Chain A
Amino acid sequence: MSAATESTYTPATATGRITNFVDQRVGGSGILREFGRKVFPDHWSFMFGEVALYTFVILLLSGTFLTFFFDPSMAESTYNGSYVPLKGVDMSVAMNSTLNISFDVRGGLFMRQVHHWSALLFTASIAVHMLRVFFTGAFRKPRELNWVVGGVLLILSLADGFTGYSLPDDLLSGNGLRIIQGVISSIPVIGTYISFFLFGGEFPGTAIIGRLYVLHILLVPAMILLMIAIHLFMVVVHKHTQYPGPGRNDRNVVGYPLGPVYAAKAGGFFFIIFGVIALMAAFFTINPIWNYGPYDPSPISAGTQPDWYIGWVDGALRLMPGWLLGIPLEWNIPLPWGVNTLSLNVLLPALVPAGIVFTVLFAYPWIERWVTKDDREHHVLDRPRNAPTRTAIGMAGFTFYCVLWAAASSDLIATHFHVSLNDVIYWLRALFFIGPIIAFTVTKRIALALQRKDREIALHGRETGRIVRLPHGEYQEVHAQLDDYKRYKLVGYESPEPSDGVPNGNGVVTKQERRRAMISRLFFEDRVAPATPAELEAAHAHAPVHEQIEEPERLKEVSH
Chain B
Amino acid sequence: MGDHSDGIPAGSDAVAKAGLHDVEKFQDPGLPPHRLRLADTDPWAAKRAERQVAILFGISVVGTLLFFFGYFFIRLDDTIGTLRIQNMLLGLGTAFAMLGIGTGIVHWARALMPDHEVSEERHELRSEADRVAAEKIVGDIIEETGIKRRPLIRNTLLGAVALAPFPAIVMFRDLGPLPADALRHTMWDKGTRLVRDPTGTPIRASDVTLGSAFHVIPDGLNNLHEGKLEEKAKAVVLLMRLDPSLLNPSKGREDWSYNGIVAYSKICTHVGCPVALYEQQTHHLLCPCHQSTFDLTQECKVIFGPAKRPLPQLPIAVDSEGYLVAQSDFHEPVGPSFWERG
Contact = CB atoms under 8 A, between A and B. Distances in A.
Given A39-B118, A175-B273, A246-B28, A304 B229 contact: no
Given A109-B83, A297-B232, A542-B6, A488 B29 contact: yes
Contacts of A196: 176-179
Contacts of A314: 290
A448 B11 CA distance: 12
A503 interface: no
Interface in B301-342: 302, 304-309, 335-342
Contacts of B291: 318, 410-411, 421, 425
A534 B22 contact: yes
Interface string B75-119: 010101001001110111011111111111110111001110111
B167 interface: no
Contacts of B101: 268, 271
A84 B267 CA distance: 31
Interface stretch (B13-21, B145-153, B244-252): B13-21
B87 A530 contact: no
Interface stretch (A24-32, A251-259, A362-370, A398-406): A251-259
Given A254-B31, A256-B115, A322-B292, A268 B339 contact: no
Interface string A325-341: 00011101000001111
A193 interface: yes
A257 B120 CA distance: 10
Contact of B91 (A256, A282, A329, A332): A282
A477 B3 contact: yes
A298 B217 contact: yes
A196 B4 CA distance: 73
A82 interface: yes
Interface stretch (A148-156, A202-210, A352-360, A431-439): A202-210
Interface string B112-141: 011101111110010000000000000000
B342 A341 contact: yes
Nearest to B74: A106
B38 interface: no
Interface in A462-476: 476
A309 interface: no
B106 A498 contact: no
Interface residues of B, number: 112
Interface in B233-278: 233-234, 236, 266-267, 270-274, 276-277
Contact of A529 (B21, B121, B176, B340): B21
A38 B217 CA distance: 68
Nearest to B226: A206
Size bin of chain A's contact surface: 35 or more
B340 A340 contact: yes
A103 B90 CA distance: 14
A422 interface: yes
B102 A274 contact: yes
Among B215, B290, B335, the most chain A Cβ lie within 10 Å of the Cβ of: B290
A126 interface: no
Among B17, B26, B341, the most chain A Cβ lie within 10 Å of the Cβ of: B26
Among A142, A179, A254, the most chain B Cβ lie within 10 Å of the Cβ of: A179
Contacts of A119: none
A346 B337 contact: yes
A162 to B, nearest CB: 15
Given A178-B272, A283-B88, A189 B339 contact: yes
A60 to B, nearest CB: 16
Contacts of B177: 196, 201
B271 A317 contact: yes
A17 B6 CA distance: 70
A554 to B, nearest CB: 15
A341 B335 CA distance: 13
Contacts of B232: 296-298
B175 interface: yes
Interface string A229-270: 000000001110000001101111111110011001101111
Contacts of B304: 422, 425
A82 B76 contact: yes
Nearest to B105: A268
B16 A253 contact: no
A323 interface: yes
Contacts of B83: 102-103, 109
